[in-house]
Structure 1
Amino acid sequence: MDHHELTQDALDDVAEMRDMLRNARRIVGFTGAGISTECGVPDFRSPGSPWLKFPPIEFGEFVSSPAARQEAWRRKFAMDDIYGHAKPGRGHRALAHLVSVGRMSAIITQNIDNLHQASGVAPSRIIELHGNGAYARCLDCGLRHELADIRARFEATGEPPVCASCGGIVKTATISFGQAMPEREMLRAQAVAMDCDVFLVVGSSLVVHPAATLPLIARQSGARLVILNRDPTPLDEAASLVVNADIGDALEPLAQLN
């Protein structure tokens, strides 16, 4: 893995972030696409992103049109071929360590790539605001469906899946554009944001709402807000500390914290 040369300012910021995390009692992590890019998972906004070639289909269209469902599943499997074999990166492993030693109470994530689970974090500690792309659910009865079964049938017949139990529409367990945010997860995320002393944003552009309100909720509740991201965000001025550095380089040493 190439380690990026950090400027002295960035090194100082990283050292300050580690001190802050070392002294924190209860950290909440908040992750976006930037934590997974070193794992080969593309983000939405970079030039040439495969998401531009295979954009997600809006929820209303998915529900109303069998042709849209067929196309959505075609794009889903095309994207899985690009990043479905991704493994957790240094950032995921560092956060998993912070959870395992009791310093991080929860990880709120906007990602659908299942890499926090793959890094060993218990699902009960992960709050997925945008769902999970590693399996599917029936929109009517909620039954879980495995992607390998869906894909085998889809490639044999070209037909979008229907629920084995009730015949309803089956969709990946992600939150699509136009689909309601998961209420229980949003309430849990708000609760942990109000109950931490450091809220650590990792790799999120903080432009997608309502998720982007969570750092402000934490700050208004007395937490220190730390933003680690490659590029500036709209909430930088609200943060106690902003670190513009490579995420893997910045977080890797945290895996040694006790």
Structure 2
Amino acid sequence: MGDVRIAVLSGAGISAESGVPTFRDDKTGLWAKYDPYELSSTDGWQNHPERVWAWYLWRHHLVQQVEPNDGHRAVAAWRDYAEVSVITQNVDNLHERAGSNPVHHLHGSLFEFWCDTCGSRYHGQLPDMPEPELEKMPPQCECGGLVRPGIVWFGEQLPDEPWQAAVEAVATSDVLVVVGTSGIVYPAAGLPDVALARGAVVVEVNPEPTPLSANATLTIRESASTALPTLLQQLPELLTN
């Protein structure tokens, strides 16, 4: 299978198995009173940068406390048998920590930061936040601007480079594996249609039905960590049908 090209489109479901909390999983209750828009939009950043920065610093800390699961590790292991490109809607670094490369982050990353004024990358040391705080002033760039998280907020365009890389990966893949994503967030939700239109094999891994389910070549109603470690064994039959 060395000449087979596999693209993987992953969503929140694969990270949830590692214990990565979503906004709505706020166990501390500290953030429960805030609308997600307040903490994930340019408006929220302009009005309360210290609040938004504290929220993302806390999430940055939480992600560092969890480990990649068998689903992440299986995708990374596929590189021994095929050419694999990972496209993710997740902002954690669990695919990278499992060994996948390249990983195209459509919605940004909790591990990238840049200046909100001049756009330059920030590589400075971040303070740890073992306990959540409601407010923390972000660092300043040399130009005087504030350092912001490298996350795509409500109302912002997807970063061009990862998106173009994602389209290219899907347009040249023999197999697209769609795992742990609801299939309703566009433009990422349109990528399976690109693969299907080309006649590529599209495998959906999701415990719940999604809009993609009816059109997928194969639908596996299991979690990522259960389905992905054995998926490679099923591909030769799918590719020859």
TM-score normalised by the chain length of structure 2: 0.82
Do the aligned partners of 2:87 and 2:104 also contact (CA within 8 Å) in 1?
yes
Do the aligned partners of 1:134 and 1:147 also contact (CA within 8 Å) in 2?
no
Count of aligned pairs between the two proteins: 224
Would the alpha carbon gap of residues 49 and 97 (structure 1) be closer, same or farther in structure 2, given more than 3 Å must change?
A: same
Q: Distance in 1 between matches of 2:66 and 2:51?
A: 23
Give the secondary-structure state (helix, strand or coil) at the position aligned to 2:17: helix
Equivalent of 2:71, from 91, 99, 108?
Answer: 91
Give the secondary-structure state (helix, strand or coil) at the position aligned to 1:116: helix
Task: Map 1:73-222; keep pairs closer than 5 Å.
Answer: 73-99=53-79, 101-122=80-101, 125-146=102-123, 148-149=125-126, 158-163=136-141, 165-222=142-199
Shift of 1:34: 0.8
Q: Distance in 2 between matches of 1:131 and 1:103?
A: 26
Q: Distance in 2 between matches of 1:167 and 1:151?
A: 23
Shift of 1:176: 1.2
Would the alpha carbon gap of residues 167 and 255 (structure 1) be closer, same or farther in structure 2, given more than 3 Å must change?
A: farther
Shift of 1:62: 3.6
Q: Distance in 2 between matches of 1:147 and 1:136?
A: 9
Do the aligned partners of 2:2 and 2:82 also contact (CA within 8 Å) in 1?
no
Partner of 2:206: 229
Structure 2 unaligned residues grouped into runs of 5+? 235-241
Q: Distance in 2 between matches of 1:184 and 1:162?
A: 26
Shift of 1:131: 0.8
Give the secondary-structure state (helix, strand or coil) at the position aligned to 2:104: strand
Shift of 1:118: 0.7
Equivalent of 1:72, from 38, 52, 64?
Answer: 52
Tell me which stretches of 4 or more aligned residues in structure 1 moved more than 6 Å: none
What value does the CA root-mean-square deviation take over the aligned residues? 2.7
Shift of 1:60: 2.6
For residues 196-226 of structure 1, the C-alpha deviation after alignment (integer angstroms, 9 at most, x for no partner) is: 1111001111111111001111111221111
Shift of 1:150: 5.2
For residues 62-84 of structure 1, the C-alpha deviation after alignment (integer angstroms, 9 at most, x for no partner) is: 4432xx21111122233334433
Would the alpha carbon gap of residues 243 and 87 (structure 1) be closer, same or farther in structure 2, given more than 3 Å must change?
A: same
Would the alpha carbon gap of residues 251 and 135 (structure 1) be closer, same or farther in structure 2, given more than 3 Å must change?
A: same
Give the secondary-structure state (helix, strand or coil) at the position aligned to 1:135: strand
Give the secondary-structure state (helix, strand or coil) at the position aligned to 2:163: helix
Q: Which amino acid aligns with 2:140?
A: V
Q: Which amino acid aligns with 1:227?
A: E
Q: Distance in 2 between matches of 1:43 and 1:241?
A: 28
For residues 11-69 of structure 1, the C-alpha deviation after alignment (integer angstroms, 9 at most, x for no partner) is: xxxxxxxxxxx69811111101111112111246xxx522973636243314432xx21
TM-score normalised by the chain length of structure 1: 0.77
Q: Which amino acid aligns with 1:196?
A: S
State the identity %.
33
Do the aligned partners of 2:203 and 2:218 also contact (CA within 8 Å) in 1?
yes
Do the aligned partners of 1:63 and 1:169 also contact (CA within 8 Å) in 2?
no
Equivalent of 2:12, from 18, 30, 33?
Answer: 33
Q: Distance in 2 between matches of 1:241 and 1:255?
A: 13
Structure 1 unaligned residues grouped into runs of 5+? 1-21
Q: Distance in 2 between matches of 1:256 and 1:222?
A: 20
Q: Is residue 50 of structure 1 aligned with residue 26 of structure 2?
A: yes
Do the aligned partners of 2:203 and 2:216 also contact (CA within 8 Å) in 1?
yes
Shift of 1:94: 0.3
Query: Which structure carries more helix by proportion?
Result: 1
